[in-house]
Amino acid sequence: MDKPEGRFEGKVVMITGAGSGIGAGCASRFLSEGARVAIIDREEDGLAQLTSGFPADRVYAVSGDCTDESVVTGFHQSATEKFRAVDILINNVGQSARERASEFHESQEDVWRFVLEVSLLATMRLSRLVVPQMRERGGRILNMSSDAAFAGDAGLVDYATAKMGIIGFTRSLARELAPFGVTVNAVAPGAIRTRAHDRVPAAVIDRIRQQTPVGFVGEPSDVAAAICFLASDEARFITGQTLLVDGGRWMI
């Protein structure tokens, strides 16, 4: 896939959950297009692998848990001190209950709370940190939803709830920030080939794959391409929207 050279030259991009999968794919794509990138994830090995090919003035990595408010606040402060204010925020971190997934009547409230915390509240938390400076300078916020929010997959009630919350958050924040030159959009991936698939019940993944019209599972690069478009100047007239990147499983 051809990539515009230097499209994000001089831009500062912040990405959560960037140690592997979609987050790592987004980080690699932005770095290849000239951005300076600050990333956070609990996976130290993944962060080290991602940053090894770039100089320290291009990428900044922190190992930490995005559900910990103090960690997120510290990451934002140190990243902006190193690079300056954030131009583009990618709220990628989030996950389903994975191996703890179950039908709703058998689910546990502590699992709901975890899924909501990592998939919705973490997005709100970091957005609040970048918004004051974006109101002064403009910017882009991209939030990671999921086509599970639209399809309502059985066994993923908590995850679908959190990811639909992302869409409501995106729309309301887009209205607040539009007058300040800030766009806020969401991307809703379908079945994407990541290690997280190995921890979701096989029956759920198989059902999603069978429902995907294009007939194959996507790659993190497919989502990264959509994210970069929405983060670019080409998407300046797009805000409050949700772009499904799911091979046609859900069409709106």
Residue 233 DSSP SS3: helix
Phi then psi dihedrals of residue 182, to 5 deg: -110, 130
Distance, in Å, from the CA atom of 182 to the CA atom of 142, rounded to the nearest integer, reads: 11
Question: Residue 182 forms beta bridges with which residues?
Answer: 139
Distance, in Å, from the CA atom of 158 to the CA atom of 140, rounded to the nearest integer, reads: 27
For residue 34 the two structure tokens come to 């000239």
Please pick, among 60, 75, 150, 159, the residue that the annotation labels catalytic.
159
Residue 96 DSSP SS3: coil
State the first-to-last Cα distance of the chain, in angstroms, to the nearest integer: 26
For residue 163 the two structure tokens come to 């990811």
Distance, in Å, from the CA atom of 58 to the CA atom of 49, rounded to the nearest integer, reads: 15
Q: Which residues contact 139 (CB under 8 A, 6 or more apart)?
A: 86, 87, 88, 89, 130, 133, 181, 182
Q: The tokens 């059985």 sit on which residue?
A: 154
Question: Residue 218 forms beta bridges with which residues?
Answer: 192
159 classed as catalytic: yes
Residue 38 DSSP SS3: strand
Active-site amino acid positions: 159
